[in-house]
Amino acid sequence: MSIQYISGRFLLIQEKTNGAEENTARLCITNQSSIYANLNSSYAVDGRRDTWTHTNTEADPWWRVDLLKVYKVNRVVITNRDSYFYFRINGAVIRVGNFSEDFYRNPICATIVTIPPGANETFYCAGMKGRYVHVHIPGDQHILTLNEVEVYGFLAGNLATDGVATQSSTFQDWFAVKGIDGNRGLLQQFTGCTQTVSESNPWWRLDLRDVYCINSVVITSRFDCCPEEINGAEIHIGNSLENNGNNNPPCAVISGISAGKSFIYSCGGMVGRYVNVFLPGDVKILTLCEVEVYREDPCKQRAAVKMQFSSSSDLTDVTMRDKILQQLGSLLASRLLINVQMQWTQPPKQKIIKVDEKRSCEKKYP
């Protein structure tokens, strides 16, 4: 746990699983304002310490990485060039946002005062959302040169990152939480994936901590070997923990995912708190390198309610039925149940019930 003082306010930042998130900038699409001596923008995301980017001397030089999707960026790590010219990074600004060209409209994550030659420094962005990360130096007659840029965070809107994971068994240190740590195992194969022991009917379960309408589940398979082990696994969504959650309704069956690839399974707004991946059969191993869960927005739950009214009014009249719905809506709103849409699935049927011999009969509508 660490506390950073950023932009005049205190932010409490907890690095999930000790900073095990995947470097999302690695081998992504990069660009820069100009290129000096073939020192192009991709050298900042190649994972090497003997290459670097370099712009011409110009006004407002910049470098950009396109993460391809919108991420909640926790931190950006900048490694400075090990050179006499280390001071060229001084005053550079890191921005995170969704504007690729007009990047001054993107919010500032941090300003780099200085970084010693060959050293790296971490800048915390506190979950800023954006597809693009820019590094630029405002002003005239500047050169921007970067040894390496790393970006760590989670896909925005992914419910799984705030959940709790468990599994039927654990092989060595391939813990269940590694299925939601943001590391897809593409670069760190032995630290980024879950795995059970060989057993009958292995399973992995995610507790979302609340009930959601699930639009889709994204599964990333193992990259280094054995992608076929996931074949036949079932995705289940629901609110029951019966049979460890594996009896909840099915969303999809995984027929196969190529090594290191991600596949989207549409769940059509299924409602549930628990997401299970269940692999039926004997002598099975379940390995997951990442599980992402996305909700429908807004989430609409439907329910049919059977009611009986005692009324002297004629509820076969459309106007009178609408009035009843308005009264019900007001009653629900008084109990803080808002944005509720109601309609009659069928017109009420009139039924005459004799209540008392001395009293007149009244109409009832089941």
What percent of the chain has a predicted confidence (pLDDT) above 90? 58
- The conformation of residue 147, written as its DSSP 8-state character, comes to S
Report how far residue 176's alpha carbon sits from residue 274's, in angstroms, rounded to the nearest whole number. 14
For the chain, list the domains and their CATH numbers: 2-155 (2.60.120.260), 159-295 (2.60.120.260), 309-365 (no CATH)
Average pLDDT in the 53-69 region? 94
State the sign of the Cα–Cα–Cα–Cα dihedral 169, 174, 175, 177: negative
CB atoms within 10 A of CB 7: 11
User: For 53-67, 78-92, 196-210, 287-301, which range has the lowest pLDDT when averaged over its residues?
Assistant: 287-301
Between 280 and 4, the higher pLDDT residue: 280
Q: What integer best gives the mean pLDDT of the chain? A: 83
Cβ proximity of 223 and 279 under 8 Å:
no
* This prediction's pTM: 0.60
CB atoms within 10 A of CB 8: 5
Region label for 19, one of left (φ > 0), alpha (ψ between -120 and 50) or beta (otherwise): left
Burial class of residue 177 in the structure, from the number of CB atoms within 10 Å of its CB (0-12 exposed, 13-18 middle, 19+ buried): middle
Coil/strand/helix, residue 291:
strand
Give the start-end residues of each E strand in 137-256.
148-155, 164-167, 194-195, 203-220, 234-238, 250-253
Average pLDDT in the 279-308 region? 79
250 has a pLDDT exceeding 90 = yes
Predicted pLDDT at 322:
80
Average pLDDT in the 37-64 region? 95
pLDDT class for 357, splitting at 50, 70, 90?
low
Q: How far is CA 328 from CA 334, 338, 351, in A?
A: 10, 11, 22
Non-local (6+) Cβ contacts of 151 within 8 A are 23, 24, 25, 65, 67, 71, 73, 75, 76, 77, 133
Average pLDDT in the 288-304 region? 75
